Amino acid sequence: MKKIITVISSLIVLSMLLTGCGASSSQPENKAAQTSKKTINDILAESRANQTTAPLVDDTEYPELDYDAEVDLTKLNSNMVYSTVYSMVNTSSDYIGKTVKAHGTFDVFTDPDTGAMYCACIIADATACCSQGLEFEWKGNHTYPDDYPKVGTPISVGGVFETYKEGNVTYCRLKDAEFAF
């Protein structure tokens, strides 16, 4: 019974509001206000005409890396790269064991508690506001910082996608990675 009364009350209030919205005003409208009224189609058309979009092709020059990959992120536009890396991080089981190639910028993080060093290829989206990092483990013996580029350097990296655990957290990375800068 309470539901019926609530629904009927809501319908009455709604009909009163709608009736009030359609009523004509006893005061004449300002002539300037009448001429400045725009339809939603007018507003959308103006918005489209004034809109600037970020380029979908990254014009950064990345080093060549001869690496045959099943998931070649270097052939995708920046929106698709960002989406694919996001998918790789969030549905990692779909990518385990696949070879991956990517372009991005070099970054490195050292865990202050353990001293462990983690290298990543940072991949930004089309507007460069958001980024995903793809950790990689460079194949061979290399010393940081001597053998590595400066942070922010454009890089190309290719490796086998895997996950690993540290404590209770699962991470993903490219193992046995080849790396060009």
Same domain, 79 and 160: yes
Condensed to tens digits (0 to 9), the pLDDT of residues 109-145 reads: 999 999 999 999 998 766 667 778 899 999 999 999 9
The CATH number covering residue 101 comes to: 2.40.50.140
pLDDT at 56 over 50: no
- Domain holding 43, by residue range, is 2-50
pLDDT the model gives residue 41: 55
Residues 77 and 41 in one domain: no
Q: Tell me, what's the pLDDT at 38?
A: 55
101 shares its domain with 144: yes
Query: How far is it, in rounded angstroms, from Cα 163 to Cα 171?
Result: 5
Do residues 106 and 39 both lie within one domain? no
Range ranked top by mean pLDDT from 18-27, 121-130, 158-167? 158-167
Residues 73/45, Cβ–Cβ less than 8 Å:
no
The confidence score (pLDDT) of residue 170 equals 92
What pLDDT is stored for residue 19 in this prediction? Answer: 41
Token code pair at residue 6: 């609530």
Give dist(CA 67, CA 96) in Å, integer.
18
Instruction: Identify which has the larger pLDDT, 103 or 54.
Output: 103
pLDDT at 3: 45
Residue 28 sits in the same domain as residue 104: no
DSSP H/E element including 46: helix 40-50
pLDDT band at 79 (very low <50, low <70, confident <90, very high): confident
Q: CA 51, CA 173: separation in Å to the nearest integer?
A: 38
Are residues 87 and 170 both part of a single domain? yes
Is 63 or 2 the better-scoring residue by pLDDT?
63
Q: How many domains does the chain have?
A: 2
pLDDT at 126: 66
In a domain, residue 60? The reply is no
87 and 166 housed in the same domain:
yes
Within-domain flag for 63: no
Give the pTM: 0.65
Same domain, 105 and 164: yes
The more confidently predicted of residues 27 and 115 is: 115
Residue 12 — very low, low, confident or very high, per pLDDT cuts 50/70/90? very low
Range with the poorest average pLDDT among 25-34, 42-51, 88-97: 25-34
Shared domain check, 18 and 83: no
Q: What percent of the chain has pLDDT over 70?
A: 65
Confidence at residue 127, expressed as pLDDT on a 0 to 100 scale: 67
State yes or no: pLDDT of 97 exceeds 60: yes
6 and 80 in a common domain: no
